[in-house]
């Protein structure tokens, strides 16, 4: 049985990128590395839509999240965070670990945060130093309105906005500088089409000023130290050379397609997936703002979402994702970010129809696929 990866990270890696990474190992202190890293640093600014430095770290995205707490806040500082899913929840745990007073904005899973709630909270307590939010909450498939939130935070000189864009960067538009996102975090294994192992963090001048005052332990994820190294096209610790060689190839692909086209492709494929699922008689889990990174489907009555996830893998070779925590069994999740095109969506829908039919759910085989075909037809 052929195997397919349609999980929300790690995602599929293009063959050109796999080939690039299979080249003989480059040493991270060799002159060629400096040339490579200089090029990548410029391309990261292009992708992040920023003139600020974008730091590259050898870690998963969570390392970037940790650094985005420890580098900017001191024990006793207050931070507002949006908890609308598994990844929002993580901000709370990180605050606790670093002695930061986390003020939670609890959002029902499947809903997007109301930006006004953030505005009210900041007005009520002007000493809040940072706002933490996901651009795309991977556990629920909801996109929070980063632009509206940035609009609220940018007017405050003493408060930064930190955005987890791990499943958002390279999927939909995020104008770091124009909107005023102070810190934005991404990971290699999502729309960047690489294996896991790299995190990327952009840092604004406002955030660096906050970092100057922060008193928290940060050795490995020390952003200032990395900034000083990386401005010289070096890394503080051993660089993830193979992944960076792969990333150069990823940028060739992304730049050839063009950022606007990359976003349009994700929007088109996400739309076709959602409409296909609906045409197959299924309901989407997000109540509003579905993320274009992945489609989260509610398991229909009488069907165990985990069985869908399990049968997709065991009967059809497709690794997608189930639900986490209280959503376990209630949903299944299918990614369409990164190295994804028309027939990944067709496959996801056909397999979903077949799995549900196999589980005894009355579904018209081909109905969802037919809808997606209609939406993805080239004129």
Binding site for a copy of itself (CB under 8 A): 1-2, 4, 22, 311, 315-317, 339, 341-344, 346-347, 350-351, 353-354, 357-358, 364-371, 373-374, 376-379
Nearer to a copy of itself, 292 or 344 (CB): 344
Q: How far is the CB of 104 from a copy of itself (least distance, A)?
A: 42
Phi, psi values for residue 185, rounded to 5°: -115, 135
* Shorter beta-carbon distance to a copy of itself: residue 197 or 368: 368
| Closer residue to a copy of itself, CB minimum distance, 29 or 357 | 357
139: helix, strand or coil: coil
Q: Which helix (H) or strand (E) holds 120?
A: helix 115-124
As a whole number of angstroms, the distance between CA 233 and CA 53 comes to: 11
CA 83 to chain centroid: 15
Nearer to a copy of itself, 112 or 363 (CB): 363
Q: How far is the CB of 139 from a copy of itself (least distance, A)?
A: 27
Residue 349 corresponds to which tokens in the numbers above?
A: 């829908």
Q: In angstroms, what is the minimal distance from the CB of 358 to a copy of itself?
A: 6
Q: 288 near 145, Cβ under 8 Å?
A: no
Pick 300 or 366: Cβ nearer a copy of itself: 366
The smaller minimum CB distance to a copy of itself, of residues 215 and 357, is found at: 357
Residue 303 C-beta: closest distance to a copy of itself, Å: 16
Of all helices (H) and strands (E), which one includes residue 101?
Answer: strand 101-106
Q: How far is the CB of 276 from a copy of itself (least distance, A)?
A: 9
> Quick check: 67 and 211 in contact, CB under 8 A?
no
Q: How far is the CB of 193 from a copy of itself (least distance, A)?
A: 12
C-alpha 298/C-alpha 287 separation (Å) is 11
Angle ∠(337,107,327) on CA atoms, nearest 5: 60
Please check whether residue 234 is in contact with residue 37, taking contact to mean a CB–CB distance below 8 angstroms.
yes
């Amino acid at each position: 049985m052929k195997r397919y990866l349609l999980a929300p990270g790690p995602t599929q890696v293009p063959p050109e990128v796999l080939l690039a990474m299979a080249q003989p190992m480059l040493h991270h202190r060799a002159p060629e590395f400096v040339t490579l890293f200089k090029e990548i640093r410029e391309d990261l600014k292009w992708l992040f839509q920023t003139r600020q430095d974008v730091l590259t770290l050898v870690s998963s995205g969570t390392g970037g999240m940790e650094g985005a707490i420890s580098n900017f806040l001191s024990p006793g500082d207050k931070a507002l965070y949006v908890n609308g899913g598994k990844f929002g929840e993580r901000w709370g745990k990180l605050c606790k670990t670093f002695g930061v007073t986390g003020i939670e904005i609890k959002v029902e899973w499947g809903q997007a945060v109301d930006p006004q709630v953030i505005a009210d909270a900041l007005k009520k307590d002007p000493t809040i130093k940072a706002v933490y939010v996901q651009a795309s909450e991977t556990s629920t498939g909801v996109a929070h309105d980063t632009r509206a939130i940035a609009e609220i935070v940018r007017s405050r000189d003493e408060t930064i906005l930190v955005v987890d864009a791990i499943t958002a960067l390279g999927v939909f538009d995020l104008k770091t500088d124009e909107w005023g996102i102070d810190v934005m975090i991404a990971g290699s294994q999502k729309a960047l089409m690489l294996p896991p192992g790299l995190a990327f963090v952009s840092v604004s001048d406002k955030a660096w000023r906050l970092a100057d005052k922060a008193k928290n332990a940060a050795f490995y994820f020390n952003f200032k130290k990395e900034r000083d190294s990386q401005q010289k096209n070096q890394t503080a610790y051993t660089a993830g050379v193979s992944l960076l060689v792969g990333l150069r190839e990823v940028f060739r692909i992304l730049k050839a397609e063009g950022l606007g086209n990359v976003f349009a492709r994700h929007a088109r494929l996400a739309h076709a997936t959602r409409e296909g699922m609906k045409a197959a008689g299924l309901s989407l889990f997000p109540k509003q703002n579905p993320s274009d990174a992945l489609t989260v489907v509610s398991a229909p009555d009488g069907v165990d979402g985990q069985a869908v996830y399990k049968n997709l893998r065991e009967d059809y070779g497709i690794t997608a994702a189930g639900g986490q925590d209280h959503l376990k069994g209630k949903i299944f999740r299918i990614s369409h970010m990164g190295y994804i095109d028309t027939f990944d969506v067709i496959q996801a829908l056909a397999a979903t129809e077949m799995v549900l039919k196999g589980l005894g759910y009355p579904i018209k085989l081909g109905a969802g696929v037919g809808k997606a075909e209609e939406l993805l037809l080239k004129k």
